[in-house]
Amino acid sequence: MALQGQLDCIEVHPEHVFRSVYNSPFETSPDFTLGWWSDVPYSYGGSGGIEFLSFRIAGVEVARAQIMLDRLPGPDYGVPRIASEYVELSFLEVAARYQRQGLGLGTRAVQCVIERYPSVGLLAYSEEADGFWDALGWRKFNHPQGMPGYRPLYVWFPKN
């Protein structure tokens, strides 16, 4: 599927878990890391919950995200309280067949998340993706104890 020039057509589809306590809201696909998207908990605890998003172009799933609602930045990271609410982009993955093609699917998926939550701060703990978050212009906060025990935290603050 040729995706060049179709990024404006990306659609966001919330996915839901219905079948059991541990179940994936997504169909199994070799394009996505199995351990990230299988056997996810339906009972999340806390007041916030989790939202799963599927990003599609012309019906083809090109990326996935897991959003944890009602979160706060880790207290040791020194994040200023600019936003009154936060959600965490805990997993984001572009389908393997489209990775490293320079199509901007990850960037566009993050833009869709920002559009979905325009008035809250967004958090992302980087899992070896600092270059991606740096390129997006998100503000980086390192834990005082550093790596390897603590991942860098990237924060997007809402525009007031």
d(CA 106, CA 65): 10
The answer to whether 65 touches 91, Cβ cutoff 8 Å, is yes
Q: Which two tokens stand for residue 14?
A: 């919330």
**Looking at the domain assignment, is residue 1 inside a domain?**
no
pLDDT, position 52: 86
Residue 2 lies in a domain: no
| Domain residue limits at 27 | 7-156
- pTM for the complete prediction? 0.82
pLDDT given at position 101: 82
Interval 89-126: pLDDT, tens: 999 999 999 988 888 999 999 999 999 999 999 999 99
3-state secondary structure (DSSP) of residue 132:
helix
Token duo for residue 73: 């930045």
Shortest CA distance to 32 belongs to which of 94, 90, 91? 94
- How far apart CA 77 and CA 89 sit, in angstroms, is 17
Confidence of residue 154 (pLDDT cuts 50, 70, 90): very high
Q: In this structure, is residue 37 part of a structural domain?
A: yes
Domain containing residue 69: CATH number: 3.40.630.30
Q: What percent of the chain has pLDDT over 70?
A: 79
- The pLDDT of residue 22 is 55
**Residue 102 near residue 116, CB atoms below 8 Å:** no
* pLDDT tens track for 50-66: 888 999 988 889 999 98
Phi, psi of 97 (to 5 degrees): -65, -20
Tokens representing 30 are 């070799």
Number of domains in the chain: 1
Quick check: 15 pLDDT over 60? Answer: yes
